[in-house]
Amino acid sequence: MPKKYWRKAWVVVWVTLLAGIFTFLFSNLKVLHNFELKSLDWRFKMRGKVSLSDSSIVIVSLDDQTFSSISAKWPYPRSYFTKIIRNLNEAGARLIVFDLEFTEPYTQDLSQDSVLARAARRAGNVIFAGKVVTEFGANNTINQYVIKPMPELVRSGVPWGVVNIIEDSDGFLRRYLLGIQIRQKFYPALAVRALQELNGDAPLQNNPRDLRVGKYVIEKMTPSTMLINYVGPAKSFPTYSFVNVIDDSEFNIGEEDTDIFEMHKIWGTFKNKIVFIGAGAEELQDVKLTPFYDYEGVKRKMPGVEIHANALYTMLGNRYIHRAAGVWVYLAWLLIGLIVGSLVLIFKPIKSLPLILLFAGLVVGGIVYVFVDADVWFPLISPLLMIAFSYLGNTFYILGTEQREKLRYRKIFQQYVSKNVVDKMLESGKFPVFGGSRERLTVLFSDIRSFTTFTEKNRPEKVVSQLTEYLTAMTDIVLKNDGTLDKFVGDEIMALFGAPYPYNDHAFKACVAAHEMIRKLREFQYKYAEEKSERYFNIGIGINTGEMVLGNLGSRQLFDYTVIGDAVNLGARLEGVNKFYKTNIILSEFTYREVKDKIVARELDKIQVKGKNRPVQIYELLGIEKISDSEHELLVEVYTEALRAYRNGEWYEALKGLRKILHFFPTDGPSNLYIRRCLDLMENPPKENWEPVYTFSTK
How confident is the model over 582-595, as pLDDT tens digits?
999 999 999 999 99
What pLDDT, on the 0 to 100 scale, is given for residue 514? 94
125 closest CA partner among 99, 161, 97: 97
What pLDDT, on the 0 to 100 scale, is given for residue 360? 94
| Runs of H (alpha helix) within 633-668 | 639-647, 651-664
Angle, vertex CA 636, rays to CA 634 and CA 642, nearest 5: 80
What pLDDT, on the 0 to 100 scale, is given for residue 431? 45
Would you call 458 exposed, middle or buried from its count of C-beta atoms within 10 A (0-12, 13-18, 19+)?
middle
What pLDDT, on the 0 to 100 scale, is given for residue 83? 94
Q: How far apart, in whole angstroms, are the C-alpha atoms of residue 47 and residue 230?
A: 11
What pLDDT, on the 0 to 100 scale, is given for residue 415? 39
Residues of the chain with pLDDT under 70: 1-5, 137-139, 405-435, 533, 554-561, 611, 697-699
Q: Please list, residue by residue across 289-327, b when 16 or more beta carbons sit within 10 angstroms of its beta carbon and e when fewer do.
A: bbbbbebeeeeebbbbbbbbbbbbbbbbeeebbebeeee
318 near 246, Cβ under 8 Å? no
Give Cα separations from 389 to 344, 348, 393, 576 (angstroms).
12, 16, 6, 33
134 near 224, Cβ under 8 Å? no
Q: CB neighbours of 271 closer than 8 A, spacing ≥ 6?
A: 91, 92, 93
What pLDDT, on the 0 to 100 scale, is given for residue 423? 52
What pLDDT, on the 0 to 100 scale, is given for residue 609? 82
Enclosing H/E stretch for 569: helix 566-581
Give Cα separations from 677 to 639, 646, 651, 692 (angstroms).
15, 9, 9, 10
| Amino acid occupying residue 672 | N
What pLDDT, on the 0 to 100 scale, is given for residue 183? 83
309 closest CA partner among 41, 38, 50: 50
Q: Collapsing DSSP states into helix, strand and coil, what is residue 542? A: strand
Enclosing H/E stretch for 261: helix 260-267
SS3 content of the chain, % helix, strand, coil (to 5): 50, 20, 30
131 near 164, Cβ under 8 Å? yes
Q: CB neighbours of 379 closer than 8 A, spacing ≥ 6?
A: 27, 36, 324, 329, 367
Enclosing H/E stretch for 276: strand 274-279
What pLDDT, on the 0 to 100 scale, is given for residue 414? 41
Give Cα separations from 401 to 349, 396, 397, 404, 450 (angstroms).
13, 8, 6, 5, 19
Q: How far apart, in whole angstroms, are the C-alpha atoms of residue 5 and residue 342?
A: 11
Give Cα separations from 534 to 458, 491, 524, 652 (angstroms).
12, 20, 11, 40
- What is the 3-state secondary structure of 47-66? HCCCCCCCCCEEEEEECHHH
Backbone phi and psi for residue 527, each to the nearest 5 degrees, phi listed first:
-60, -45
Q: How far apart, in whole angstroms, are the C-alpha atoms of residue 390 and residue 625?
A: 57
Give Cα separations from 150 to 31, 98, 153, 208, 432 (angstroms).
43, 14, 6, 32, 105
Q: Give the pTM.
A: 0.59
Enclosing H/E stretch for 564: strand 559-564
User: Domains in the chain, start-ordered, CATH in brackets?
Assistant: 3-44+324-404 (no CATH), 54-322 (no CATH), 435-626 (3.30.70.1230), 628-686 (no CATH)
81 closest CA partner among 268, 279, 222: 279
- What torsion, rounded to 10 degrees, do the Cα atoms 257, 263, 265, 271 define? -110
179 near 165, Cβ under 8 Å? no
What pLDDT, on the 0 to 100 scale, is given for residue 406? 54
